[in-house]
Chain A
Amino acid sequence: MSIREKVIAIVAEQAVLEVGDVSESSTLESLGIDSLGLVESIFAIEEEFDITIPFNANDPMGGEFDISSVAAIIKGIESLIADKA
């Protein structure tokens, strides 16, 4: 699975949706993921890719990691993986 597919699978599971219902333009909010679901999604992504995402639930949108859409999350993960390599 590509990074994109893995992220969509994680987000779909968290949102209790089919993979086909999640697109890159989806926002987590539009998928019905609340603040707890968001923290769980971040955790699942960190575990999947063995990365540490700079994320503080006190200010989810204000951190350096962009979570405004699925596409932004994929981009952020790609960049963190590249930094690690």
Chain B
Amino acid sequence: MKRVVITGAGTINALGHSVPETLDAMREGRCGIGPLEFRDVERLSIRIGGQVHGFEATVHFNRQQLSLYDRFTQFTLIAAKEAIAQAGIEFTDELAAKSGVVLGTAGGGVSTWDDNYRSVYEDGKNRVHPFVVPKLMNNAATSHVSMQYNLRGPCYTVSTACASSNHAMSQAFSMVRSGMAPVMVTGGSESMLCFGGVKAWEGLRVMSRDACRPFSLGRNGMVQGEGAGIFVFEEYEHARARGADILCEVAGFAMTSDAADIVMPSKQGAARAMAGALADGGIALDEVGYINAHGTGTAANDKTECAAVADVFGPHADRLMISSTKSMHGHLIGGTGAVELLACIMALREGVIAPTIGYEEPDPECALDVVPNEAREADVSVVMSNAFAFGGLNAVLALRRV
């Protein structure tokens, strides 16, 4: 089996339009959640979210591109550009033929669906733009990355709700590890912050009207975000041979299914995924210094996740740190694990643990070190990133300092 390292990272999300901007915000514990701005927002009962502001699509893309790029594809391409530039890699010949793209998204082109349904149902129009289908399809972002960077190997999109990115990155990892592909561009993207996208979530009655306060007593639900996180996963010797700057190693992963309930999380499913990732990476319990939690800020997730961590880690659960950066950038649904992986890389590379902001009071059911409100300096060599999706589908990745 090959070793797999990360040689490039890119993002755009509510905290910043690049990795440095995002990490600065995480270090400062800044909140990217605020009042939502889009058409018909006044008809929603949930009016906050982690929206990407100051982003002018026309600055980055021409008219022809925009007719094909939904906002989730735009975010993907912005983040991919940063990641591939950092990796300093060009895909030609054999490398291009074997390398690919696996991305996660839950909804794909949600705002394209929304705009065009509005047009035919509400405005009574009988004609839509010819590119509606290629614009909204879940694999659009993957295909555009493939086309733009000449990635001609395995390319597809994974959709497992809130675990989409982690499932995608797990797939990319196993493809590079097995020797199937020398390099995979991976991560995920989501852009559901439009009237229909938020209205659908509102129906579930689990959204907060004021803030995302993971693990805090009195937390009252999740807050949606949007954006993308994209990474270059590369075979270790390949990266070394070309003198690439290695951000960290992908050490292990596991995927499990609760096979129980369509929305309620399961402690066993989460615990099996975490334990599985440790076993897969040959990682001892006490090596893990930090977990980037799924930490949605709902009553059910946070207590279940803490119980699962306690089950897996035993006494070491009280020594490790666990934080939820969703408190800052919101829940990016299918893109969330990708943006959260940045906090994991920051922990390994810079020794800074991103905080759980908005934390008010300890909840006895979440009695772990959740790094409340302020970032902390710590020397950690192994970190994990959790994602537990609706549908009971879980994916956990473990990263190691190189």
Q: Which of A36, A43, A55, A59 contacts B263 (CB 8 A)?
A: A36
A10, CB-defined interface residue at 8 Å: no
- A58 CB-CB contact with B under 8 Å: yes
Q: Which residues of A contact B342 (CB under 8 A)?
A: none
| Cα distance A55–B300 in the bound complex, in angstroms | 16
| Contacting residues, chain A, for B327 (C-beta < 8 A) | none
Interface residues of A in 43-85 (CB under 8 A from B): 43, 52, 55-59
Q: Which among A35, A39, A43, A58 is the interface contact of B220 at CB below 8 angstroms?
A: A58
Within 8 Å CB of A36, what residues of B?
262-263
B45:A52 contact, CB within 8 angstroms? yes
Within 8 A of B (CB), among A2-51: 35-36, 39, 42-43
Is B298 part of the contact surface with A, judged by Cβ < 8 Å?
yes
| B interface residues, how many (CB within 8 angstroms) | 15
Cα A55 to Cα B205 with chains together (Å): 7
Residue of B nearest to A55 (CB): B205
Q: How far apart are the CA atoms of A42 and B45 in the complex, in Å?
A: 15
Q: When A35-B264, A56-B220 are in contact, do A43 and B203 touch as well, CB less than 8 Å?
A: yes
**How many contacts A-B (CB < 8 Å)?**
28
Residues on A with C-beta less than 8 A from B298 are 58
B45:A57 contact, CB within 8 angstroms: no
CA A52 to CA B208, docked complex, whole Å: 16
Per a CB cutoff under 8 Å, which of B221, B263, B264 touches A56? B221
A57 to B202, CA, bound (A): 11
- Contact A58 B264, CB 8 Å, known A39-B204, A39-B205, A52-B45: no
Chain A CB within 10 Å — which of B205, B221, B300 has the most? B205
B307 CB, nearest partner CB in chain A, Å = 17
Chain B contacts for A43, CB-based, 8 A: 203
- Is B219 in contact with chain A by the CB < 8 A criterion? yes
28 contacts between A and B (CB under 8 A): A35-B263, A35-B264, A36-B262, A36-B263, A39-B204, A39-B205, A42-B205, A43-B203, A52-B45, A55-B205, A56-B205, A56-B206, A56-B220, A56-B221, A57-B204, A57-B205, A57-B206, A57-B221, A58-B206, A58-B208, A58-B219, A58-B220, A58-B221, A58-B298, A58-B299, A58-B300, A59-B220, A59-B299
- Chain A residues within 8 Å of B, Cβ to Cβ: 35-36, 39, 42-43, 52, 55-59
Closest 9 CB pairs of A and B: A58-B299, A57-B205, A58-B221, A57-B206, A58-B220, A39-B205, A58-B298, A56-B220, A55-B205
Residues in chain B within 8 A of chain A (CB atoms): 45, 203-206, 208, 219-221, 262-264, 298-300
